[in-house]
Amino acid sequence: CGVDLQQVRMDVNRARINDPLLAQEVADFTNDCYALARSRLFMTQPTLTKEQLNDVNWIGSRFFLQTPGYYDDGFSGFRSHTHSGL
């Protein structure tokens, strides 16, 4: 029995954050941090594995969290605190 990835993607796309403050924080992070990290990624064009290429498609990317120069600069007041157990 396989996972219907198309259905999972549609379910995730329909998901909404009900808390307006949290929704605004996620929007701010997406605009101020994730977009900047993606831009830096495409400007520097590092060699990424297939797994890393998939990973950088979401805001919680391990690559962006663990690679210096992406989420660690504190841009716009956001700071990443990576933990080895995550």
**Of 5-14, 20-29, 36-45, 74-83, minimum mean pLDDT range:** 74-83
**Structural domain total, the chain:** 1
Say whether pLDDT at 13 is over 90. Answer: no
**Where in the sequence is the domain holding 19, given as residue range(s)?**
5-77
Q: Is residue 86 part of a domain?
A: no
d(CA 72, CA 57): 18
Name the phi and psi angles at 71, rounded to 5: -90, 0
Say how far apart CA 60 and CA 65 lie, in whole Å: 7
User: pLDDT tens for residues 16-62?
Assistant: 888 999 989 988 999 989 999 999 999 999 999 999 999 999 889 99
In a domain, 84, yes or no: no
Q: How far apart are CA 61 and CA 36, in angstroms?
A: 13
Count Cβ atoms below 10 Å from residue 70 Cβ, excluding itself.
Answer: 22
Asked, for residue 85, whether it belongs to a domain, the answer is: no
